[in-house]
Amino acid sequence: MPVALDLVEDILRLKKEKNAIILAHNYQVGPIQDLADYVGDSLGLAYQARETDAEVIAFCGVHFMAETAKILNPQKTVVLPDRDAGCSLEQACPAEDLQAYLDEHADKNYYVIAYINCSAGVKALCDVICTSGNAPTIVEKAPTDRPILFVPDANLGQWVMEQTGRKMDLWQGSCYVHVEFTRDSIDKIKQEYPDALVVAHPECTQAVRLLADEVCSTEKMISYCQNAASDNIIVVTESGMLHRLQKECPDKNLIPGPTDNCACADCRYMKMNTLEKLHACLENLAPQVTIPDSVQDRAEASLLKMLEQSR
């Protein structure tokens, strides 16, 4: 679909007028990626949010990512195109449930590691945050004299255990998009492209990860595909990644990993953002992200610890 040039131009005008930066996750629709100042994974976006001089951050991603930007920049205005852009992992671990679990198991004295796909309330309850780009590094730096509780993604947690050899207790959350890839759906596409390499996100199930030549965060998929020995690469993650990869690796044939029902997988939350909503949020400086005072300092401390430990 052609993109209205005057809409793009007006977004760029508003961006200048409001002294804003546009940050976009790799799963955003192509037209948003194309006009963003920075496109990347959760870790890269957190660093960008921390380092920007802009007064306004327009965050094109899902709500927990915009919240992360606000926690790291309490004095800045953070807006997002659609307030309802949630995440099934965030929903799988409400802060009250985590608090109740920790109270019930107080004798364990857990060291809690939270995947960044969680609410500000959960970030405030944990010792450190991780992303898919640094999870093994963060887990390797955990104290060895305390048991680890890893929340909320059980698939990512299991992958990190395999990578590090550390045992962890896993919260049983999952990404509703990545669990749709199955051993059968990936096997079938591999038969169509027998020489293809497979790169998968660690939110996939173990059965799918076992079929992959590489398991990594969305940002690491770029360098993996650029340096891959084969021209054909099956990409097992959300569909928006293909747009970024096609730009960064124009010589490769990038094949979307199919699910049992679909040729490629869309995250309905990531796809709630549109150019029109981005324009409106810059114009009105709304909806804005706010963080309750009661969680700000503790959530910021666990995010800063992550940024420090993953350098």
Footprint on this chain of ligand SF4 (rule: CB under 6 A): 62, 87-89, 117, 175-177, 203, 238, 267, 269-270
| Distance, CA of 185 to CA of 262 (rounded, Å) | 9
CB 8 within 8 A of CB 15: no
Residue of 231, 227, 242, 220 lying closest to 310 (CA atoms): 220
Report the partner that residue 269 touches, choosing among ligand 13P, ligand SF4, none (CB closer than 5 to 8 A by kind).
ligand SF4
Q: Which of 217, 259, 273, 310 binds ligand 13P (CB under 6 A)?
A: 217
Q: Which does 132 bind (CB under 5 to 8 A by kind): ligand 13P, ligand SF4, none?
A: ligand 13P
For residue 94, the minimal CB distance to ligand 13P (Å) is 18
CB 100, min distance to ligand 13P, A: 26
180 binds, among ligand 13P, ligand SF4, none (CB under 5 to 8 A by kind): none
Residue 205 Cα distances to 118, 153, 293, angstroms: 19, 11, 37
Please select the residue that binds ligand 13P; options are 67, 90, 180, 203, rule is CB under 6 A. Answer: 203
Please say which residue, 185 or 310, places its beta carbon nearer to ligand 13P.
Answer: 310
Amino acid identity at 78: V
For the bound state, the minimum distance from the C-beta of residue 10 to ligand 13P, rounded and expressed in Å, comes to 28
Q: List the strands of the sheet with 214-215, edge to edge.
A: 214-215, 197-200, 232-236, 253-256
Please give the angle made by the CA atoms of 255, 61 and 265, to the nearest 5 degrees.
30
Q: Which residues contact 79 (CB under 8 A, 6 or more apart)?
A: 56, 57, 58, 59, 66, 281, 282, 285, 286, 287, 288, 289
Q: Which stretch binds ligand 13P (CB under 6 A): 73-81, 129-137, 142-150, 301-309?
A: 129-137
- Contacting ligand 13P within 130-189 (CB under 6 A): 131-133, 175
Binding mask 20-49 for ligand 13P (x = CB under 6 A): ------x--------------xx-------
Nearer to ligand SF4, 48 or 117 (CB): 117
Q: Least distance from C-beta 202 to ligand 13P, angstroms?
A: 8
CB 91 to ligand SF4: min, Å: 9
Least separation in angstroms between CB 284 and ligand 13P: 27
Residues forming contacts to ligand 13P in the complex (CB under 6 A) are 26, 41-42, 117, 131-133, 175, 201, 203, 217-218
